[in-house]
Structure 1
Amino acid sequence: MTPTGLRYAVVVPTVGRPSVGALVDGLLRQDGPLPDEVVLVDDRPPGTAGPLPRPEPPPGRTPVPVRVLRGWGHGPAAARNLGWRVTTAEWVAFLDDDVVLPDGWCAALAADLEGLDPAVGGSQGRIHVPRPAGRRPTDWERATAGLETAHWATADMAYRRAALLAVDGFDERFPRAYREDADLAVRVRRAGWLLVRGDRVVHHPVRTADRSVSVRVQRGNADDALMRRLHGPRWREVAETGHGRLPWHVATTAAIGSTVAAAAAAVASAPTDPTGRSAVLRRLALAGATASVALVGDLARRRIVPGPRTAAEVATMAWTSAAIPPVAVWHRARGWWRHRAASPWPPRPRAVLLDRDGTLVHDVPYNGDPDAVAPVDGAREALDRLRSAGLRLGVVSNQSGVGRGLLRPEQVDAVNAAVERAVGPVQTWQVCPHVPEDGCACRKPGPGLVHAAASALGVGAEECVVVGDIGADVEAARAAGARSVLVPTATTRAEEVAAAPVVAPDLPRAVDLVLGWCRG
C-alpha cells in the first residue's frame, strides 16, 4: 500500500519474451510507491518452454510478491482476466510484456490515480514508441507507432477493480492482442464509468518482425467482425479506432477475382467460340487486371512513400500490398461467420459440465460398484432445475483407476449408469482413463474433457460452466475458456478454495449461481 493508501496490483500477460524479465526487474527497482503484487500470466501453451524468470527485489528493498500463473495460450484477454481476478487491490494496472518502464513510473502512476473522481473507471498511460535514427520508419515501425495515439491501449492501462467487476473483465473471444482493449473500454463506458488519460509514460520498442508480418496481422479483421457484431455498424466511431480500409480491400479482391475468372473462362471458350464470347471475356479480364493493378498500386504507394524507400522495403510493400486485400477479406468473412450469433460478454451459459465423484455423488475411491453410488444431497433436484431452464448437461470425470489396473472400463460404465439413475439423464459422458504419467490431453486439469463435452453438446467452451470439487476442475475450466464453480468438500485443499474465482457451499447453491448467470 502506498503512503497515501492507494492500493494497486500490476498484471502482465506474457508469451515468454525475454523483455518480461527486464520489465519486472525494472518495476521492482522503482523508487515510487510499489504495487501490492505483480502477477505474471504465462500464456504460452503448456510444455512449450521453461519457467519464467522470477526477479528478486534489490537488497534492502521491501519485497513485492511476484506471482506466476499458467494461462493456457488463450490470448491476452483471457490471461488478463486470470491475472486481475486473483488480485484484491482497488486498481489493476495492465502492462504489455515488451514495454520499458522509465524511472519514476510507479510514482507517476500513483499521481495519476490518487484523487480521481469515483466515477473514473480507468486511466491510460502515455505510450512512446522510439523512432529509428537517421532514416524514415518502415511500414511495421509506423504501425507500431500507432500505439501513441491509440485509445485505451492496455500496453499501459489501469482499471478500477469495481469497473472490471461491473463488466466481467475482458471478452475472451478476442484471441489476439487486438481490439480486446477497445471492446473493454466501450463496455466500461457503457456501464457508466469515465476513462481518462494520465501523465505517466512507458516506452514500447518496435518488435523484430519478418517481411510477411503485415499479411499475418490481417487476422485482426476477424476481430473487427466481432466488434461489429457486438457494437453495431458504427463500432469504429464508438471505439475510437479510425476508419480502416476494408471497403478498398473488398474492391481490390473483387477486381482480382473477376480478372482470374474472366481470363479462365476466355481460355476455356477460345477453342470453340464462333460467337466471339472469348474476346468479350478477354476485355473483361483486361479491365479487371487494370483495376487490380491500380488498386494494389495505390495501396503500395501509400505504404512506400512515408517509408525509407530501400529496395527491400519497396519489394516487400509491393508483394504484400497484393496479398493484403484478399487475406483481409477472407479473415473478415471468417470472423463474420464465426461470430454471427455472438451475444454480449459474458455469454449466457448453455451447458453445465459436472464432475462426478465428490460433486454429483459421494466420493468412493476407484469405485467399480454401482451399489456404492450415493448422490449428494439435493443432486437430483438441482439437475432438474438446470434441465427445466433448458441447459444441456454433461459429466467430465477423471477415472485413473482404469489406467492403474484397478477398474475395467465396463465397471466405470456401470457406475455411470447408476449415477444417471440417481440424478437423471445427462447428454454426454466424457471420461479420462489415463494416469497422470501418461501425459494425455484429456485428463483434468487439462482442457480436453471440457472441449470434448462442449463439442458433443454443440456449444462453445465459453458457453459452459464446469462444477467440481477440487482445483483440477477449476483449472480445466480455465484451460478451456469456460466458467467454473467450486463446491468444496472436506478433502478440498484450502489453497484451491482461495484460488477459485467462484465458490458455492453446495451443489444446489452452485445451480443458483448458474441460473443467475443465465438470467443475466
Structure 2
Amino acid sequence: MKIDINLCTFRRPEVVETLRSIDRLQIPEGVQLRVIVIDNDHAPSARARVEAMADGMKLPVTYTHAPAGNIALARNAGLDLSEADWVAFLDDDETVGPDWLAAMIERQRETGADAVFGHSRAAYDETAPAWIVARDYHSNIVEARGGVVETGYTCNSLLRWGDAPWTDQRFDLSRGRSGGEDTEFFFRLRAMGASYAIADKATAHERVSPNRLTFQWLRQRKFRMGQSYSVSARGPAASARLFCTAAAKAAFCHGRALLSLPSAEARNYWLLRGALHLGVCTGVLSMPSRDLYGT
C-alpha cells in the first residue's frame, strides 16, 4: 500500500513541525509512505526549511514549487506528482499523533470507503475571545447528513487514488483564493461514485493564528463555506429549492441575532449562521467569492 501525503504550504514556518510529526508516525506493516511538499508562494520561500528538515527525516520527502498564491493550483501539483495507491492531505499548520495514519487506514479497511476524513481540532491561546473558544469555530469536524458523508476537507483526509476512476479530476482553480475548493472537489467525486467515511480516531491539531480570531474573518469563512455547499444542488429545480430554503434560514438567523443582542456569544453565533446561509444563496446565483488566501 503506497501512500503520498500531500502537504501544501504558503509562508508558514510551522510546516517544519508538521513534517516532524509526520516523521514520528507509526507506519503499519506493508505501507510505503512519501511526503510531497508543495510550496505555493510566489518565490520558493519554503525550500530551505523543508529541505533542511527532510535531511534528518526517515521518510522520503519531495519538494516542488507551484507558484501563484492559489491553493487549488498547489493541490493539483501534488496530485500530478502522486503515483501512489492513496493520497493523504494535511495542512501546513497542523500536527498529527503517531497513530494518525494507522487510524486512517484502519477506518478505511473497516468501511471500504474511497475516502476517509478525520477531524481537525483547533488549539487556542489566551488571546482568543471567549465567544470564539466557547463555540470552537476553528475546528473542522466532519459530519454525516442523514447518515451519509457528502463531502470533506483536505485538512485531514485519505483518498483512493492509483486505480480510482477520478485520477483525472483536479481542484477548481477558480476557488483557489476564496477557499472551498476541497468541499467542491469531494462533492464532485461523490457524484462520480466515491463513498466516504469518518475516522474519529484520526485527529489532526491546529494552532489558530491571531489574525483569524476576529468576527470578520469568521464571517467571511462562513459565507464562503455556504458558497461551497451550494454545489451540492444539481439542476435548476434543486438549486431553486436550496436557494429558497437558505434564504428563509438566513432571515430566521438574523432575526434571532436581533433577539440575542445582549449576549456576544449568542448574537455572533446567529450572525455567523446567517452568513453561512447567505453564502449558499450567492453560491446558487454563481456570484463571485472574496479572496481569503494567497495574499
Note whether the superposition's TM-score is higher than 0.5: yes
- Which structure has the larger Rg over C-alpha atoms? 1
Aligned 8 A contact 1:32 1:105 in 2: no
The separation in 2 between residues aligned to 1:48 and 1:250, in whole angstroms, is 46
Name which of 127, 137, 142 aligns with 2:120. Answer: 127
The separation in 1 between residues aligned to 2:177 and 2:165, in whole angstroms, is 19
Confirm or deny that 1:101 pairs with 2:96.
yes
Give the TM-score, by structure 1 length: 0.43
Structure 1: runs of 5+ lacking an equivalent: 1-5, 253-291, 306-313, 340-520
The separation in 2 between residues aligned to 1:108 and 1:251, in whole angstroms, is 40
Cα distance, 1:32–1:72 mapped onto 2, change above 3 Å: same
Q: Which residue of 2 aligns with 1:172?
A: 173
Q: Which residue of 2 aligns with 1:220?
A: 224
The separation in 2 between residues aligned to 1:302 and 1:232, in whole angstroms, is 40
Query: Could you say what the CA RMSD is over the residues aligned between the two structures, in angstroms?
Result: 4.4
Name which of 248, 251, 265 aligns with 1:304. Answer: 265
Confirm or deny that 1:88 pairs with 2:88.
no
- 1:405-444 mapped onto 2 (5 Å cutoff): none
Deviates more, 1:89-98 or 1:101-110: 101-110
The separation in 2 between residues aligned to 1:21 and 1:167, in whole angstroms, is 30
Q: Which residue of 2 aligns with 1:139?
A: 132
The separation in 2 between residues aligned to 1:111 and 1:42, in whole angstroms, is 30
Partner-residue secondary structure (3-state), 1:72: coil
Q: Which residue of 2 aligns with 1:200?
A: 202
- 1:91-490 mapped onto 2 (5 Å cutoff): 91-113=86-108, 117=112, 120-130=113-123, 137-139=130-132, 142-145=136-139, 147-150=140-143, 152-161=152-161, 162-163=163-164, 165=166, 168-176=169-177, 178-198=179-199, 199-208=201-210, 209-211=212-214, 212-217=216-221, 220=224, 223-224=227-228, 227=231, 234=238, 246-247=247-248, 249=250, 296-298=257-259, 300=261, 304-305=265-266, 317=268, 333=282, 336-338=285-287
Displacement of 1:225 in angstroms is: 8.0
Aligned 8 A contact 1:124 1:196 in 2: yes
Aligned 8 A contact 2:223 2:278 in 1: no
Q: How many residues align?
A: 270
The separation in 2 between residues aligned to 1:24 and 1:205, in whole angstroms, is 15
Name which of 36, 40, 43 aligns with 1:43. Answer: 40
Partner-residue secondary structure (3-state), 1:53: helix
The separation in 1 between residues aligned to 2:44 and 2:182, in whole angstroms, is 27
Displacement of 1:197 in angstroms is: 2.1
Cα distance, 1:11–1:192 mapped onto 2, change above 3 Å: same
Displacement of 1:94 in angstroms is: 0.8
The separation in 1 between residues aligned to 2:26 and 2:276, in whole angstroms, is 48
Cα distance, 1:89–1:325 mapped onto 2, change above 3 Å: closer
The separation in 2 between residues aligned to 1:58 and 1:42, in whole angstroms, is 17
Displacement of 1:125 in angstroms is: 2.0
Residue type of the alignment partner of 1:69 = H
Displacement of 1:27 in angstroms is: 0.9
The separation in 1 between residues aligned to 2:188 and 2:286, in whole angstroms, is 23
Structure 2: runs of 5+ lacking an equivalent: 144-150, 289-295
Q: Could you report, residue by residue, the CA deviation over 1:313-365 in whole angstroms, capped at 9, with x for unpaired residues?
A: x8xx59x95x99799859965883557xxxxxxxxxxxxxxxxxxxxxxxxxx
Displacement of 1:40 in angstroms is: 1.6
Aligned 8 A contact 1:28 1:64 in 2: no
Aligned 8 A contact 1:164 1:188 in 2: no
Name which of 74, 79, 84 aligns with 1:79. Answer: 74
- Counting aligned pairs with the same residue, the percent is 15
Cα distance, 1:87–1:229 mapped onto 2, change above 3 Å: same
The separation in 1 between residues aligned to 2:70 and 2:152, in whole angstroms, is 21
Aligned 8 A contact 1:8 1:92 in 2: yes
Cα distance, 1:12–1:231 mapped onto 2, change above 3 Å: farther
Cα distance, 1:36–1:335 mapped onto 2, change above 3 Å: same
The separation in 2 between residues aligned to 1:223 and 1:50, in whole angstroms, is 31
Give the TM-score, by structure 2 length: 0.70
Q: Which residue of 2 aligns with 1:436?
A: none
